[in-house]
């Protein structure tokens, strides 16, 4: 009996040491946890869906979240239907990168997850320092600023910190096999790169917001296109005139949209959006003065895609869609819709219907 008690005591002493987790976050900062996080505060509500790629019940892990970049309403409703406890998650900030250190400390979390977009913000840097001084670990991830580069490393970081590494690796293999197929095929065929204009948050008025470096630019180039916005816009996002767009007359015109564009008369796509509504908004956009003069529109090379692909690892389906659009002969076998369906069935705890692209792949 004494031997058994001694063994149990030694095991209890050794367990915390054996369970200690050390991970470098997306900024290269070391994050140390005594054990996998069970009480998490999310700096962005959308990251609930990322946790869902690794955990059957991600809601059980989250005690607080900032409402900046919250889950969209249809996705929130789907989570609420399956996990009613989601309504008990405490808000710790609203928007514009504000966050309540006092509220977070009162929740006694194991881990606070911040975004790369928080880096360098003076108020957020102060908050991070206060949280770490209170003994709360803070990890930075990125699914938005450089999604293609950082999504899988960020997924692995969260997997390691939440005992979700097995599922994180399964998703990483799923993602990387599809990405490598596109890269390898393009490298072997070396096709000519078509010129592409990405009209983000697309509406006929106040044209045209577009992308320079990062985010959608990376998706375009990986899919074998040339983003004309990269030489017209300084930084990630900027505006060009409709006259510029008409003069450039790109091979492909790609508009991004979401439910948020309905109030602006723009392209409506995404969760809970029906195909007929999406198609009507796309037709209204591409038939507007100026846009209808584009060769890409008149010759059937205009497309619409869901804007929020830019903040989820599911963007691999968008890269497939773009590759198939730019090089249809080379990628005739790609099925982006099947890729999304497999993400839903294999990884996500909820499925939210919607329209993600026009025309369908």
Between 3.40.630.10, 3.30.460.10, 3.20.20.370, 3.40.50.1980, what CATH number should domain 12-163 receive?
Answer: 3.40.50.1980
Is residue 116 within 8 Å of 143, Cβ to Cβ?
Answer: no
- Segment 81-101 shows an average pLDDT of 91
State the average pLDDT over residues 158-166: 98
Residue 16 has pLDDT above 70, yes or no: no
Mean pLDDT of 292-304: 97
Q: Is the pLDDT of residue 83 over 50?
A: yes
* pLDDT tens for each residue of 119-133: 989 999 999 999 999
How does the average pLDDT of the chain come out, rounded?
93
pLDDT band at 17 (very low <50, low <70, confident <90, very high): very low
pLDDT on residue 97: 72
Is pLDDT at 14 greater than 50 in this prediction?
A: no
* pLDDT at residue 10, rounded to an integer: 38
- Band (68; pLDDT cuts 50, 70, 90): confident
Residue bearing tokens 């910190």: 161
Q: What is the mean pLDDT of residues 23-31?
A: 98
Mean pLDDT of the region 140-166: 96
Fold of 193-358: Rossmann fold (3.40.50)
Mean pLDDT along residues 317-339: 98
pLDDT of res. 214: 79
Residues paired with 252 in a beta bridge: 196
pLDDT the model gives residue 155: 98
pLDDT in tens, 94-124: 766 789 999 999 999 999 999 998 998 999 9
Question: Which token pair is 131?
Answer: 């949280």
Q: Which of 6-10, 32-36, 58-62, 212-216 has the lowest mean pLDDT?
A: 6-10
Residues of 317-332 as b/e, b for ≥16 C-beta within 10 angstroms? Answer: bbbbbbbbbbbeebbe
Read off the pTM.
0.92
Tell me: pLDDT of 5 over 60: no
Residue pair 86/76 in contact (Cβ under 8 Å)? The answer is yes
- Per-residue 3-state assignment (H helix, E strand, C coil) for the chain: CHHHHHHHHHHHHHHHHHHCEEEECCCCCEEEECCCCCCEEECCCCHHHHHHCCCCCHHHHEEEECCCCCCCHHHHHHHHHHCHHHHHCEECCCCCCCCCHHHHHHHCCCEEEEEHHHCCCHHHHHHHHHHHHCCCEEEEECCCCCHHHHHHHHHHHHHHHCCCHHHHHHHHHHHHHHHHHHHHHHHHHCCCCCEEEEECCCCCCCCCEEECCCCHHHHHHHCCCEEHHHHCCCCCEEECCHHHHHHHCCCEEEEEECHHHHHHCCCCCEECCCHHHHHHHHHHHHCCCCHHHCHHHHCCCEEEEEHHHHHCCCHHHHHHHHHHHHCCCCCCCCCHHHHHHHHHHHCCCCCCCEECEECCC
Instruction: Name the band, by pLDDT with cuts 50, 70 and 90, for residue 69.
Output: confident
Segment 50-54 mean pLDDT: 98
Domain boundaries, the chain: 12-163, 193-358
d(CA 181, CA 173): 12
Predicted confidence (pLDDT) at residue 189 exceeds the cutoff of 70: yes
Does the fold of domain 193-358 match that of domain 12-163? Answer: yes
Q: What pLDDT digit, counting tens, does each position of 204-242 carry?
A: 998 999 999 878 999 999 999 999 999 999 888 899 999
């Amino acid at each position: 009996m004494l031997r058994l008690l001694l063994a149990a005591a030694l095991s209890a002493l050794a367990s915390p040491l054996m369970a200690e987790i050390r991970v470098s976050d997306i900024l290269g900062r070391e994050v140390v946890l005594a054990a996998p996080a069970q009480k998490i505060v999310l700096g962005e509500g959308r990251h609930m869906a990322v946790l869902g790629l690794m955990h059957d019940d991600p809601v059980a892990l989250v005690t607080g979240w900032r409402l900046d970049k919250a889950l969209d309403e249809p996705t929130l409703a789907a989570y609420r239907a399956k996990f009613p406890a989601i309504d008990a998650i405490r808000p710790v900030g609203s928007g514009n990168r504000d966050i309540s250190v006092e509220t977070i400390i009162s929740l006694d979390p194991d881990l606070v997850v911040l975004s790369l977009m928080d880096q360098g913000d003076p108020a957020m840097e102060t908050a991070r320092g206060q949280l770490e001084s209170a003994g709360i670990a803070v990890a930075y991830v990125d699914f938005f600023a450089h999604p293609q580069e950082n999504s899988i490393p960020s997924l692995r970081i969260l997997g390691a910190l939440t005992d979700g590494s097995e599922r994180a690796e399964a998703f990483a293999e799923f993602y990387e096999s599809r990405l490598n197929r596109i890269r390898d095929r393009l490298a072997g065929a070396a096709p000519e790169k078509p010129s592409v204009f990405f009209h983000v948050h697309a509406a006929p008025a106040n044209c045209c917001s577009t992308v320079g470096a990062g985010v959608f630019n990376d998706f375009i180039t990986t899919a074998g296109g040339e983003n004309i916005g990269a030489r017209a816009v300084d930084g990630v996002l900027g505006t060009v005139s409709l006259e510029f767009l008409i003069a450039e007359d790109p091979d492909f015109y790609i508009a991004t949209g979401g439910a948020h564009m309905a109030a602006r008369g723009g392209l409506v796509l995404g969760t809970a959006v029906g195909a007929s509504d999406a198609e009507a908004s796309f037709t209204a956009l591409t038939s507007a003065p100026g846009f209808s003069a584009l060769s890409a529109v008149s010759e059937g090379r205009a497309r619409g895609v869901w804007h929020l692909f830019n903040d989820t690892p599911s963007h691999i389906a968008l890269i497939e869609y773009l590759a198939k659009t730019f090089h249809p002969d080379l990628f005739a076998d790609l099925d982006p819709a099947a890729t999304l369906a497999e993400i839903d069935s294999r990884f996500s705890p909820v499925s939210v219907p919607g329209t993600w692209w026009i025309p369908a792949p």
